[in-house]
């Protein structure tokens, strides 16, 4: 999942995981940047490097399990060294901050450590689906480009081999796709379109349908005739209330018009299917809200041109 900061990447990651569980697909969610609200959407505490269960599978509907973990470059390096028979020196090496020194000399090394670990998890095949909650768009491009960039700087040896294997995964559209997320607003849409072309051209990565998040749902009766609708519903409006109601309805109508415009513009500029998620008027997205979002997503699957 990639997209501009704050557009809902984490919410969409959680929604996809929940939807996958309902489809019976076991999922591992991977977080790479700090703390997010993802576990709380499943009613769970913060994540760790060790896998935790976000929601148990089973039940009458045969739901699959959702697990999650974080990945950090330091821990990924420890794992890598351990897997290559170097555990004796690995702890000291990582504790000494050697990774930071190397990372300065070869930018992208931290990204490749994370992506290398993702590749290892993918090859292990313990899950039907891996969902990576990627960093914000600007960084997502550098992040996903790291493999190709490293291949140019490091031409032989284990880092080269690692970068090669990561690039193979990233460019194999059957193994890996990027889901770009946007709000139905001008700047995020522009940025999504730019990111989409950068990812395709510079990384060669496949794009899944895009997700437009935060769309206002139609409310029946709320429109130009909000006051009439309120009256029809038996509400008696006090002085001044009619004007406020009218203004609120107008605001919402304008907002929705803008959203329709931006969504159409996105479809125009980017020939990718769109999945749409509603804006939820709530302060916190918890399990109930997540369920609602997942059902909305699943309701659109049959409109997609191909199985994702
Ligand atoms: N469909 C929605 N309805 C209501 N609130 C939403 C929706 N999607 C996201 N939010 C809220 O918007 C905020 C940003 O969402 P989220 O954290 O998923 O964005 P992000 O793209 O992951 O941000 P960052 O770039 O900081 O990681 C959160 O408070 C989240 O609860
Ligand atoms: Mg996030």
To test the ligand 1 pocket, which listed residue (5, 185, 211, 285) has its Cβ within 8 A of the most ligand atoms?
A: 285
* 74 class by beta-carbon count within 10 Å (0-12 exposed, 13-18 middle, 19+ buried): middle
Q: What is the mean pLDDT of the chain?
A: 89
Q: Which of 176, 163, 185 is nearest to 108 (CA)?
A: 163
Average pLDDT score over residue span 168-196: 96
Q: Rounded to whole angstroms, what are the CA distances from 171 to 48, 149, 160? A: 29, 14, 16
Average pLDDT score over residue span 186-190: 96
In tens, the pLDDT along 14-43 reads 999 999 999 999 999 999 876 788 999 999
30 sits in which H/E element: strand 27-31
* Ligand 1 atom closest to Cα of residue 281: 4
Q: Which pLDDT band, with edges at 50, 70 and 90, does 213 fall under?
A: very high
Distance 303 CA to ligand 2 centre (A): 27
Chain-centre distance of CA 249, in angstroms? 32
Q: Quick one: pLDDT at residue 17?
A: 98
Q: Which of 9, 27, 26, 56 is nearest to 180 (CA)?
A: 9
Give dist(CA 268, CA 182) in Å, integer.
Answer: 15
Q: Quick one: pLDDT at residue 102?
A: 75
Q: Is the pLDDT of residue 306 over 80?
A: no
In tens, the pLDDT along 147-166 reads 888 888 888 888 889 899 99
To test the ligand 1 pocket, which listed residue (5, 10, 290) has its Cβ within 8 A of the most ligand atoms?
A: 10
Q: Which pLDDT band, with edges at 50, 70 and 90, does 74 fall under?
A: confident
> 52-55 and 66-70 as β-strands: parallel, antiparallel, unpaired?
antiparallel
Q: Which pLDDT band, with edges at 50, 70 and 90, does 7 fall under?
A: very high
């Amino acid at each position: 999942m990639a997209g501009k900061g704050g557009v809902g990447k984490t919410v969409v990651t959680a929604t996809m995981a929940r939807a996958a569980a309902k489809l019976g697909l076991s999922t591992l969610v991977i977080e790479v940047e700090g703390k997010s609200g993802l576990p709380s959407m499943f009613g769970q505490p913060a994540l760790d490097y060790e896998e935790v269960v976000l929601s148990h599978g089973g039940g009458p509907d045969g739901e699959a399990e959702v697990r999650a973990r974080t990945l950090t470059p330091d821990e990924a390096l420890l794992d890598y060294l351990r897997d290559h028979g170097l555990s004796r020196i690995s702890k000291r090496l990582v504790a000494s901050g050697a990774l930071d020194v190397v990372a300065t000399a070869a930018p992208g090394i931290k990204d490749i450590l994370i992506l290398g670990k993702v590749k290892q998890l993918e090859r292990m095949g313990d899950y039907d689906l891996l969902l990576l909650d990627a960093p914000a768009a600007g960084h997502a491009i550098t992040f996903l480009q790291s493999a190709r960039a490293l291949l140019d700087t490091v031409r032989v040896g284990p880092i080269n081999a690692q970068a090669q294997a990561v690039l193979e995964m990233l460019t194999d559209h059957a193994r890996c796709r990027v889901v770009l997320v946007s709000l139905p607003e001008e700047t995020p849409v522009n940025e999504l379109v730019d990111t989409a072309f950068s990812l395709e051209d510079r990384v060669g990565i496949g794009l899944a349908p895009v997700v437009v998040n935060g769309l206002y749902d139609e409310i029946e009766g709320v429109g130009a005739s909000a006051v009439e609708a309120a009256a029809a519903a038996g509400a008696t409006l006090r002085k001044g209330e009619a004007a406020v109601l009218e203004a609120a309805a107008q605001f919402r109508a304008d907002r929705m018009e803008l959203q329709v415009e931006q969504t159409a513009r996105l479809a125009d500029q980017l020939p990718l299917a769109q999945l749409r998620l509603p804006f939820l008027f709530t302060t916190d997205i918890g399990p109930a809200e997540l369920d609602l979002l997942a059902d909305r997503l699943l309701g659109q699957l049959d409109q997609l041109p191909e199985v994702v």
